[in-house]
């Protein structure tokens, strides 16, 4: 456990090499201890990072820790520029993921109505249609980039359908979503990251302001209508908070699920005998998707801020210091998982933390699982000769683990 400013930890974590393969670094740091101090600001300020499954799980559930962390996201920007991004801080600060009980509890209870297991399962035929529509044209070509052709367009289509927004907006959504992901997932955030994220959030809010006005006149069975009902019940959501949840859902529903799909297929392409196993036994898809979530977790870390001085793993952490739960590292913790670096499609009792834990446990987990199951099984079944055309590269983002591209040959 390292308490002093630990540039070596920072250097080990924030490199291109690390992003391409973070697991040896996670393992080495975990062997040294579950908790490390990461000096992010030249000795001026730092964050704590937790690498073990047990401590990450405890941190995510700890009521002494707050999910409100947006203002901390600007600290790498020059002091005299931070004020330019008040609007970004204000708007992201309304996202459910960044608020605490009791407001969070009230909002979550109402939002859960849109994400019950039966509501999600009812969407399966619709999701199957979306995937078939995307895969049909691939039957006539010999190679493709599955990030561009499948993983990128599919979850945005699904969440757009759930929110009831038109297909014509999807390219703009993808562009805005990428800007928010770059800001959220980069610990060394720059003015440019903040500027792009602020423009994206403003544009999305503007879009949803108009969509909500229109939906008020003509309510349907979609998530925007559910959020309008919540807002109209009073007390829980204001009009602006309503737009903020729409932006959050669009972002959260797409940026992560696409990475699950691409990384899951990539993991299978690297071990063709496991792909064959899944093709022969499609019932494996449920445990397989849990394993893809564990093996290449789409969100590599989440964060909390200490609301009081606390002691964690024997170390005193002062009030206001951020703590990162390194979910990607926890999901390879040998104390929790047997042979953690082996992809085991049959793994049972897979208590991974890909969706975190505690009150902020991912509300869209069932939807993401179902989308992953449908997309991955369909491509495996429809393209039995598919193989990797060349090594894939990971996007240089510390928080969101996803492939830049996934070039495959269909062998047809």
Distance CA(237)–CA(244), nearest Å, equals 10
For residue 66, the surrounding DSSP H or E stretch is: strand 65-66
The contacts of residue 270 (CB under 8 Å, 6+ apart) are 388
Does residue 362 touch ligand HEM according to CB under 6 A?
yes
Exactly one of 153, 187, 298, 402 binds ligand HEM (CB under 6 A); that residue is 298
Does residue 330 touch ligand HEM according to CB under 6 A?
no
Stretch that binds ligand HEM, among 16-24, 188-196, 248-256, 280-288 (CB under 6 A): 248-256
Does residue 260 touch ligand HEM according to CB under 6 A?
yes
Does residue 96 touch ligand HEM according to CB under 6 A?
yes
Residue 91 CB, nearest approach to ligand HEM (Å): 15
Sign of CA dihedral 215, 219, 223, 229: positive
Of the pair 60, 138, the CB lying nearest ligand HEM is at 60
Does residue 397 touch ligand HEM according to CB under 6 A?
no
Does residue 302 touch ligand HEM according to CB under 6 A?
yes
Does residue 108 touch ligand HEM according to CB under 6 A?
yes
Structure tokens at 126: 């619709």
Does residue 352 touch ligand HEM according to CB under 6 A?
no
CA distances from 174 to 64, 155, 178, 186, 395 (A): 36, 10, 6, 18, 15
The contacts of residue 136 (CB under 8 Å, 6+ apart) are none
Does residue 354 touch ligand HEM according to CB under 6 A?
yes
Q: DSSP assignment, residue 117?
A: H
Distance CA(140)–CA(142), nearest Å, equals 7
Of the pair 340, 364, the CB lying nearest ligand HEM is at 364
Structure tokens at 131: 């995937």
Exactly one of 48, 176, 295, 355 binds ligand HEM (CB under 6 A); that residue is 355
Of the pair 336, 356, the CB lying nearest ligand HEM is at 356
Exactly one of 35, 60, 262, 278 binds ligand HEM (CB under 6 A); that residue is 60
Of the pair 196, 257, the CB lying nearest ligand HEM is at 257
CB 350 within 8 A of CB 290: yes
Q: With CB under 6 A as the rule, give the number of residues binding ligand HEM.
A: 25
Does residue 114 touch ligand HEM according to CB under 6 A?
no
Residue 302 CB, nearest approach to ligand HEM (Å): 4
CB burial string 71-81: b at 16+ within 10 A, e below:
ebbbbbbeeee
Alpha helix ranges (H) inside 186-256: 191-217, 223-232, 239-255
Residue 388 CB, nearest approach to ligand HEM (Å): 22
Task: Let me know how many helices (H) and strands (E) the chain has, helices first.
Answer: 20, 10
Does residue 363 touch ligand HEM according to CB under 6 A?
yes
CB 179 within 8 A of CB 196: yes
Does residue 256 touch ligand HEM according to CB under 6 A?
yes
Structure tokens at 55: 């401590």
The whole-angstrom distance between residue 205's C-alpha and the CA centroid of its chain comes to 20
Q: Which residue is nearest to ligand HEM (CB)?
A: 364
Does residue 257 touch ligand HEM according to CB under 6 A?
yes
Q: What is the CA radius of gyration of the chain?
A: 21
Residue entry with tokens 């951020």: 322
Residue 97 CB, nearest approach to ligand HEM (Å): 4
135-194 residues near ligand HEM, rule: CB under 6 A: 159
Does residue 368 touch ligand HEM according to CB under 6 A?
yes
Residue 367 CB, nearest approach to ligand HEM (Å): 5
Residues that bind ligand HEM (CB under 6 A): 60, 67, 96-97, 108, 159, 248-249, 252-253, 256-257, 260, 298-299, 302, 354-356, 360, 362-364, 367-368
């Amino acid at each position: 456990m390292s308490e002093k400013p630990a540039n070596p930890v920072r250097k080990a974590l924030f490199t291109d090499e690390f992003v391409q393969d973070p697991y040896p670094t996670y393992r080495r740091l975990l062997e040294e201890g579950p908790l490390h101090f990461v000096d992010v600001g030249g000795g001026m300020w730092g964050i704590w990072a937790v690498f073990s499954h047990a401590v990450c799980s405890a941190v995510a559930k700890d009521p002494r820790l707050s999910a409100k962390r947006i203002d901390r996201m600007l600290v790498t920007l020059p002091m005299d520029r931070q004020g330019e991004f008040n609007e970004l801080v204000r708007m992201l600060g309304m996202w459910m993921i960044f608020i605490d009980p009791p407001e969070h509890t009230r909002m979550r209870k109402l939002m859960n109505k849109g994400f019950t297991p039966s509501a999600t399962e009812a969407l399966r035929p619709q999701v199957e249609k979306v995937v078939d529509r995307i895969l049909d044209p691939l039957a006539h070509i010999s190679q493709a980039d599955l990030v561009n052709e499948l993983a990128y367009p599919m979850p945005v289509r699904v969440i757009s359908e759930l929110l009831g927004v038109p297909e014509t907006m999807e390219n703009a959504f993808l562009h805005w979503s990428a800007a928010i992901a770059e800001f959220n997932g980069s610990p060394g955030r720059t003015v440019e990251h903040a500027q792009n994220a602020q423009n994206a959030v403003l544009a999305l809010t503007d879009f949803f302001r108009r969509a909500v006005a229109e939906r008020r006149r003509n309510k349907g069975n979609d998530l925007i209508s559910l959020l309008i009902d919540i807002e109209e019940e009073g007390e829980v959501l204001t009009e602006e908070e309503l737009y903020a949840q729409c932006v959050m859902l669009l972002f959260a529903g797409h940026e992560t699920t696409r990475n699950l799909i691409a990384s899951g297929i990539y993991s299978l392409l690297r071990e063709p005998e496991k792909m064959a196993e899944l093709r022969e036994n499609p019932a494996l898809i449920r445990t397989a998707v849990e394993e893809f979530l564990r093996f290449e977790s789409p969100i590599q870390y989440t964060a909390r801020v200490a609301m009081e001085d606390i002691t964690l793993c024997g170390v005193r952490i002062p009030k206001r210091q951020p703590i990162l739960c390194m979910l990607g590292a926890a999901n390879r913790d040998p104390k929790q998982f047997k042979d953690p670096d082996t992809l085991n499609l049959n793994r049972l009792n897979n208590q991974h933390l890909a969706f975190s834990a505690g009150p902020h446990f991912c509300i869209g987990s069932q939807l993401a699982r179902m989308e992953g199951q449908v997309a991955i099984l369909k491509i495996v079944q429809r393209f039995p000769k598919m193989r990797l055309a060349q090594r894939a590269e990971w996007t240089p983002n510390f928080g969101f683990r996803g492939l830049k591209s996934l070039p495959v040959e269909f062998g047809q």
